[in-house]
């Protein structure tokens, strides 16, 4: 049975989007909700729309009462296990529309805002997952789609709130 942490834990996943009608991060959230005892009782689960415009309001709501842990999950067609993303950028690719049909403008020539997650001990997390037999890898490239954008917004909001990182 999972131990208890002081304060709430929020874990997010994404709904479907063009080309991925059955988002694995959505299924992960459903499985965690349906499996009591895997995570502490104070864990909350949120499904986010896979839409750029929906991210900031959803994350503002989550961070209005800052959780002790915020775990953002996403989908990668290339991942062979968990990708533990250390960085997020504000770059959004114009190659793919979000679930609402929005296509970001071409970011060519724009300055890149890169945010580092300093709150997580990524090597320790990687070691713990590997010890459980779960494939994972550290990554510094969260892509250029909605899940990367959510991560960037969350790191930016956390920095603005002056929360410990």
pLDDT tens-place string over residues 119-154: 899 999 999 999 999 999 999 999 999 999 999 999
Distance, in Å, from the CA atom of 54 to the CA atom of 49, rounded to the nearest integer, reads 6
Distance, in Å, from the CA atom of 145 to the CA atom of 117, rounded to the nearest integer, reads 18
Per-residue pLDDT band for 6 (boundaries 50, 70, 90) equals confident
CA atoms within 13 A on the CB side of 89: 14
pLDDT tens-place string over residues 30-72: 999 999 888 999 999 999 999 999 999 999 999 999 999 999 9
Angle, CA 165 vertex, CA 138 and CA 9 arms, to 5°: 80
For the domain spanning 9-160, the CATH number is: 3.40.630.20
Instruction: Provide the token pair at 94.
Output: 């114009």
Distance, in Å, from the CA atom of 143 to the CA atom of 111, rounded to the nearest integer, reads 16
Domain ranges of the chain: 9-160
Encode burial over 114-149: b for 16+ CB neighbours within 10 A, e otherwise: ebebeeeeeeeebeebeeeeeebeebeebbbbbbbb
Q: Is the CB of residue 83 less than 8 Å from the CB of residue 148?
A: no
């Amino acid at each position: 049975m999972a131990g208890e942490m002081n304060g709430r834990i929020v874990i997010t996943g994404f709904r479907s989007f063009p080309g991925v009608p059955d988002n694995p991060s959505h299924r992960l959230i459903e499985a965690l909700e349906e499996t009591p005892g895997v995570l502490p009782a104070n864990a909350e689960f949120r499904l986010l729309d896979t839409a750029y415009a929906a991210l900031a309001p959803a994350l503002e709501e989550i961070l209005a009462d800052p959780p002790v842990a915020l775990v953002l999950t996403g989908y990668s067609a290339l991942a062979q296990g968990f990708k533990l993303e250390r960085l997020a950028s504000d770059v959004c690719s114009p190659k793919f529309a979000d679930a609402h049909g929005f296509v970001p403008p071409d970011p060519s020539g724009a300055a890149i805002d890169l945010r580092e997650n300093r709150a997580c001990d990524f090597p320790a997390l990687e070691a713990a997952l590997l010890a459980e037999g779960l494939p994972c890898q550290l990554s510094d490239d969260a892509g250029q789609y909605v899940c990367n954008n959510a991560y960037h917004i969350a790191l930016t909001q956390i920095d603005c709130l002056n929360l410990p990182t």
